[in-house]
Amino acid sequence: MALARMLSLSGHEVTVWSALPKVLEELRKTRRQKNLPNMEIPEEIEFNESIEEMCEDKDILLFAVPSVFVRSTAHQASSYVVDGQIIVDVAKGIEPDTLMTMSEVISSEIPQAKVVALSGPTHAEEVAKDLPTTIVAAYEDITVAEQVQSIFTNPVMRVYTNTDVKGVELCGALKNIIALASGISVGLGYGDNTKAALITRGLAEIERLGVKIGCLPETFRGLAGMGDLIVTATSKHSRNNRCGYFIGQGYDPQEAIKTVGMVVEGINAIPAAMTLAEKYDVEMPIMTTVDAVINHGADPREAVKELMGRDSKTELSKPILDLNYESAVMKNATLRTKGDQSMKRVITYGTFDLLHYGHINLLRRAKALGDYLIVAISSDEFNWNEKHKKCYFTYEQRKALVEAVRYVDLVIPEESWNQKRSDMHEYHIDTFVMGNDWKGKFDFLKEEGVEVVYLPRTPEISSSQIKHDLYDAASVEQSQTSHEDINTDPR
Ligand code: C2G
């Protein structure tokens, strides 16, 4: 209702549906939501019992139901949702038996929709008061996330985009468990030091699991991760925090939930968190302790003592040797460069479709010419409009592949033939490198003060060669199987 009010006040037409007709009746009559008594529901907001009508002609469908009702709600709506409909999910949680995040649950019921996760430090009580708030819209196609970004952006809401839906949703679900732990520590009479410890090490647990699942590390340092964890683990508005507090005070978990009187998503998320920790073999001591207290009757005070008594650990995620080696290389790089520059920067440009060893040979030799290699990858539009190349992989996919190459330090988009001159200055480039099929074509870049190097191409291999060979192989295979059919078919 807080988001409905915000969207309505920023000029959108908003209709609210609920599975409980009497709730709609009360909202219509009182124009108040019982958990947000001081928030007035704008007159322009309509209410509708028909989920079919709700799904007709909408720019977005916003799912804001408790995580345990997301599947049934999505199932009810599925047959009315049009192809390509953007659905925005703000429910946070993981389905215990399927381990699906909420957007995955909705997508499994409504495969024709594009489900965007919207998550971040956004307490409804503060959104209702128009207090400045930020949030992340996540979808693998950044342009769809940008559409949601524009709909939710207004003077009191700043929306950031992310493509790492899994990471954003994992944060949203698991941070509630850390908030329970934080509440328990306050209930036990512990102070801010303990709270800070639980937030910091709790986020480390979530990031460890997320990276194992393939999420982006920066997601956990972002608004859906760090941001939401801070606000949930420290705020009086947080139901998970309040529920934890009562448990720390000695309440039985079920009593504590009743006392809070609202959905405590952290408790719903514990079983899935434990299953994920086991499945991905990730140590999650804080969440395991919360599980012991909530679901296995462990005494909170004893549990904290156990946490504090664990064997000593390092904060570093990489083995010390790797880190020492990397810092030595960086230091060495500083020593090796000319003038005041911190390191020698090399750049190269290309499509890099169907990444093959010819590309890798080029990237390896380019990196050897300096300390930091930037690769400008041709965008889909640039490839199509300027290079008349139809790529097999999209820009995002080609970017992910090239970023995985250990010689590459940064990937940027190449959107026009003319960006090279300015790139040389923007990225403080020392050396520009291309395969020698481009020999002479970029000598003008010397005027920008950079070294221009053309490296011999790797003969015999190219993306077009790969496509050609595959096509030939497929057609040979095709003719063989049809030939075999004639021989083996009894008729
Ligand atoms: N390359 C190579 N050996 C191959 C194939 C490619 O050395 N067998 C090099 C190319 O010379 C180029 C880089 O790998 O330097 C990327 O190749 P493409 O993806 O084909 O790049 P191209 O289409 O040439 O685009 O503004 C410059 C353009 O974006 C370059």
Model confidence over 143-166: pLDDT tens digits?
A: 999 999 999 999 999 999 999 999
Residues 182, 229: Cα–Cα separation, whole Å: 10
**81 CA from centroid of ligand 1 (Å):** 44
**Would you say residue 338 has pLDDT above 60?**
no
**Would you say residue 316 has pLDDT above 80?**
no
Residue 138 neighbours by CB distance under 10 Å: 30
Q: Whose CA is closest to 92, among 225, 185, 199?
A: 225
What was the pLDDT predicted at 139?
Answer: 95
Q: How far is CA 345 from the centre of its chain?
A: 29
What is the band of 237 on the pLDDT scale with cuts at 50, 70, 90? confident
Q: Is the CB of 462 under 6 A from ligand 1?
A: yes
What was the pLDDT predicted at 330?
Answer: 59
Tens-place pLDDT, residues 349-396: 999 999 999 999 999 999 988 888 999 999 999 999 988 888 999 999
DSSP bridge pairs for 87: 61, 115
**454 CA from centroid of ligand 1 (Å):** 11
**418 CA from centroid of ligand 1 (Å):** 17
Give the DSSP H/E element, type plus range, for residue 241. Answer: helix 239-248
What is the band of 23 on the pLDDT scale with cuts at 50, 70, 90? very high
Q: Is the CB of 467 under 6 A from ligand 1?
A: no
Q: What percent of the chain lies above the pLDDT cut of 70?
A: 93
DSSP bridge pairs for 434: 454
Tokens 């698991």, located at residue = 174
Tens-place pLDDT, residues 39-87: 999 999 999 999 999 999 999 999 999 999 999 999 999 999 999 999 9
Q: Is the CB of 64 under 6 A from ligand 1?
A: no
**Would you say residue 223 has pLDDT above 50?**
yes
Rg (CA), the chain: 27
**Would you say residue 333 has pLDDT above 60?**
no
Q: How far is CA 175 from CA 240, 260, 270, 437, 441, in A?
A: 10, 18, 11, 52, 53
What is the band of 327 on the pLDDT scale with cuts at 50, 70, 90? low
Q: Is the CB of 383 under 6 A from ligand 1?
A: no
**173 CA from centroid of ligand 1 (Å):** 43
Active site residues: 175
Tens-place pLDDT, residues 398-457: 999 999 999 999 999 999 999 999 999 988 899 999 999 999 999 999 999 999 999 989
Residues 266, 253: Cα–Cα separation, whole Å: 12
E-strand spans in 331-440?
345-350, 372-378, 410-414, 431-435
**What is the arithmetic mean of pLDDT over 31-35?**
93
What was the pLDDT predicted at 212?
Answer: 86
What was the pLDDT predicted at 309?
Answer: 85
| Crossing angle of helices 285-295 and 253-260, rounded to 10° | 90
Report the atom number in ligand 1 closest to the C-alpha of 352.
19
Question: Which residues, other chains included, contact 110 with Cβ-Cβ below 8 Å and sequence gap of 6+?
Answer: 74, 77, 78, 81, 85, 87
Choose one of 384, 388, 437, 465 to mutate for the ligand 1 pocket test, by most ligand atoms within 8 angstroms of C-beta: 437
What was the pLDDT predicted at 318?
Answer: 63
**Would you say residue 341 has pLDDT above 60?**
no
Question: Mean pLDDT in the chain?
Answer: 90
CB 226 within 8 A of CB 220: yes
